[in-house]
Structure 1
Amino acid sequence: MSPGETLDPLPDTLILQPPVFHPLVPYVTTIFGGLRAGKMVTLQGVVPLGARRFQVDFQCGCSLHPRPDIAIHFNPRFHTTKPHVICNTLHGGQWQAEARWPRLALQRGASFLLLFLFGNEEMKVSVNGRHFLHYAYRLPLSRVDTLGIYGDILVTAVGFLNINPFVEGGSEYPVGHPFLLESPRLEVPCSRALPRGLWPGQVIIVRGLVLPEPKDFTLSLRDEAAHVPVMLRASFADRTLAWVSRWGQKKLILAPFVFYPQRFFEVLLLCQEGGLKLALNGQGLGATSLGQQALEQLRELRISGSVQLYCVHY
């Protein structure tokens, strides 16, 4: 970008934010673009051996006085005779009726992975990959713009993701969509072997952060002869995204350009019979054709360019 140049406005649905690693608790952060149906928040951590309770609050603001409304209060309690989870809503300084779930799926001294999945009418929570509870909204989800984590908890990572757009319906926990976050230590260029090629239903997921002064970004799939049957290329000079064939032919993808400096991105490629479907930041952007035999012969996934990679999964 040249000095003084401004970014094109992006729809809120295309705005994601980087994961946070090892935050100090209490921890409060803004949720970029707020909450909406189809968004997910993941929380990885450890429950200390002497833990009494902790809470994860999805708040309507972050003021101290007056206290903000809390649309969703998720509160595991370990110090009682029967450990349990309380969910509730704080509105106008008053707590509403508690909703209680026994048989707490979290344990003192154990690590955990919490997933909060936000639907149209309710939030679902899974613990270590298994559904645990659902909680109907009592305040509009659109009011939520802040995440607060408090109490006896050691947090290793917080992630903000979208539902896999390739899952039909999008109301259940996304199948085959990994939530485990990795520390940002992946080197670029990055190469991953595909010993069995690609097959229908397989999803490639790439998450990262664009560097401050980017030049290019490419995601290529190569066969045993080092040919590149398909490549996804982002050009920062003219802000275009395109498929590039093995013969160098370029097909532009007509969509908002999300590869902006110091912004987080998520690329999903779904393999299907006859080609690959593309999604950026949870938004489906069409497909490129490729024969099944060509897909099965792919042996390498390679990513290069001006990005910091957080996760490469397939």
Structure 2
Amino acid sequence: MSVQECEFRNIDLKAGDQLKIQGKVANDPERFQIDLGADNDNLALHFNPRFQEDDSAIVCNSKHESVWGEEERHEKNPFEPDTAAKIIVKLAGDYFEVELPDGKEIQFPNREGLDIINYVRVKGDFKVTSFKMY
């Protein structure tokens, strides 16, 4: 499976909203990412599962004017190669809550303090089959 990319602009997500992304992890994945923010240079949430043998983790970060913040690493990556997965991102105002396929949740602060998310991108070794905002 080649690297996939799915980008949404001019959307209007705010505190209390949720984003449900369903798709399939590639057969031999290296990584994929889900980015939420104002644009590609200003990301309130960069959610990045990694599958390398020496770096199997979920990394979360933010980006302000093209400069990355400090990474938060979660050593347990529940995503499996060649399987369907559902990810739910809840916008809680001061933080994001990401529900993983195994039912666990990761919280990440809204460092950018964005009240409205109008940019979402899914890129990498994950093919989106369903995208729902509610």
Same fold per TM (> 0.5)? yes
Shift of the alpha carbon at 1:160?
Answer: 0.4
Name the structure 2 match of 1:223: none
- Which among 46, 49, 53 is matched to residue 27 of structure 2? 49
Name the structure 2 match of 1:122: 95
Task: Identify the structure with the greater strand proportion.
Answer: 2
Shift of the alpha carbon at 1:112?
Answer: 0.7
Shift of the alpha carbon at 1:25?
Answer: 2.8
Aligned residues of 1:113 and 1:129 also touching (Cα < 8 A): no
Secondary structure of the residue that 2:104 maps to in structure 1? strand
Secondary structure of the residue that 2:14 maps to in structure 1? coil
Aligned residues of 1:122 and 1:137 also touching (Cα < 8 A): yes
Aligned residues of 1:113 and 1:127 also touching (Cα < 8 A): yes
Aligned residues of 2:7 and 2:122 also touching (Cα < 8 A): yes
Name the structure 2 match of 1:107: 80
How is 1:5-44 mapped onto 2 (pairs within 5 angstroms)? 25-30=4-9, 32=11, 34-44=12-22
Aligned residues of 2:86 and 2:101 also touching (Cα < 8 A): yes
Shift of the alpha carbon at 1:54?
Answer: 0.5
Name the structure 1 match of 2:107: 134
Identity of aligned residues (%): 23
Task: Please list every run of 5 or more consecutive structure 2 residues that lacks an aligned counterpart in the other structure.
Answer: none
Shift of the alpha carbon at 1:82?
Answer: 4.6
Aligned residue pairs, count: 132
- Which among 72, 76, 80 is matched to residue 53 of structure 2? 80
Q: Cα deviation per residue 1:217-273 (whole Å; 9 max; x = unaligned)?
A: xxxxxxxxxxxxxxxxxxxxxxxxxxxxxxxxxxxxxxxxxxxxxxxxxxxxxxxxx
CA–CA distance in structure 2, aligned partners of residues 113 and 27 of structure 1 = 16
- Runs of 4+ aligned structure 1 residues displaced above 3 Å come to none
* CA shift in 2, pair 1:42/1:129, >3 Å: farther
Pick the structure with greater CA Rg. 1
| RMSD over equivalenced CA pairs, Å | 1.7
